[in-house]
Structures are given as C-alpha cells and as structure tokens.
Amino acid sequence: MAATVSIAAFASGGGTNLQAIIDNCEARRIDARVVVVISDQADAGVLARARNHDIPAQHVPVGRDRSEQFFEAERRHLEILREREVDLVVMAGYMRRIGPALLAAYPNAVLNIHPALLPSFPGVHGQRDAAEYGVRVSGCTVHFADPEFDTGPIIIQAAVPVLPDDDEDSLGARILQQEHRIYSQAIQWFAEGRLKVEGRRARLEPAAEATISPEPGVIISPPLTCEL
C-alpha cells in the first residue's frame, strides 16, 4: 500500500496539468493530495483552479534568476513546504528555476514535466521547436528536477506522432493529453516508493515499462509501403 503523498505544486500558467493531478487525487486514482499551490505569477489561472478545490494558493514573486529576491523567494517556499508538511514538489508549467536550497531539502523529490522527448527540444518552446524541426515523433517527459533546466533523470516519457500539418498548437494539444496521463503515473510511482536514482538514471523498482505510446505498439502509421 502506498502512503498518501502531500504535494506542493509550483506553476506559472493556466494549470491543466495541475487540474489533472487534482482530479486524479480526488478520484483516488493516485495516492496523493495537493496541499498547496505556489505561483510566481499573481494572476496565474492555476491559483484560481486551486482555490476552486479549497487548496491553499500562494503567489510568491521570484524576481530575476539568482537575484536577492530569488533567494528570498526560495526561503519563503521552504517555509511554506515545511508548514504544509510537503513530501513531493511537482513543477507543473513552472517557468522558473528551482533553487539549490530547495533541491537539497527535497532530494529526488522535485519533479518537472517538459513537452518534448528530452534531451531533444529543451527550453520554453518544446512543442514549437519539434514542429518546426520536422521530427516525426515528439512527446513529453517527466523527470527529476536538478539545478539546470530540463536535464534531470528521466522517469517516464510518452510519444505522440507529429502530423504533416502540425504547428505548435496542434502538436502541443496532442502532447498535453499525454502530459496529463504520465505526470500522475510518475506521482503514483513516487507514492509507491518505486523510484530510485543512480547517477543520471532513474530506475523503477520492480522494473516496468516507462514508455507510453498513445496507441500501444503503433507509433509509425501508416505501415511502411515497401516490403522489408
């Protein structure tokens, strides 16, 4: 039996990932509950979503990266996490770096989601960069956060096809559907104590498949048109 994990969600935007996590917690599909939502943006939609579910929601301005205000915000974050007895931090569209003191206080307990198959297309435009590059498959990645952006050990990835007329929005919408699935799966593995980190590899114990294709077994479609 997994223990119920207390989650703090950090987010900057509309919060559909947060919404999926809250819904899965409330429906008991995962052994977790969101105990606080923190945003660097005063008017982030994610704060209203939290309040709709009676989840405490706080705006903490962060300032420039690694400025005095950044480190002051990190101290405030840590106070909030301790007050709420948080076990796990999930970055759900949080467009800021997580500071070193917070990472040290939560070793292997800060997760991030990225809308591309890392290490391809890191950065803030993962969907647009994949569509413009012309890759045939993209997707999303849940990984442990580290001091840099989009570089920590990978927990789970989901692949989606990139269609000929895709742009940032159409590809992004297809990816987002999978983000909503794999983030909760990663959280459930955390709750079950199944995630171990060895160097840059995150392992699932006991081992299980951690790759998702939306139509199982079918990534390349239509079938090849030559005999191979």
What is the side-by-side order of every strand in the sheet holding 110-114? Answer: 57-59, 32-39, 5-10, 88-91, 110-114, 137-144, 154-161, 211-212
Q: In terms of CB distance, is 71 or 120 closer to ligand GRF?
A: 120
Least distance CB 65 / ligand GRF (angstroms): 17
Give the whole-angstrom CA distance, residue 168 versus residue 220.
Answer: 21
Least distance CB 116 / ligand GRF (angstroms): 9
Which residues have CB under 8 Å from 59's CB, separation 6+? 38, 39, 40, 41, 42, 44, 47
Give the whole-angstrom CA distance, residue 173 versus residue 107.
Answer: 32
- Catalytic residue numbers? 114
Q: In terms of CB distance, is 126 or 153 closer to ligand GRF?
A: 126
Element (H, E) at 132: helix 126-133
Q: In terms of CB distance, is 13 or 214 closer to ligand GRF?
A: 13
Q: In terms of CB distance, is 14 or 56 closer to ligand GRF?
A: 14
Give the whole-angstrom CA distance, residue 161 versus residue 202.
Answer: 25
Name the residues that contact ligand GRF, by CB under 6 A.
Answer: 11, 13-17, 92-93, 113-115, 176, 179
Residue nearest to ligand GRF (CB): 93
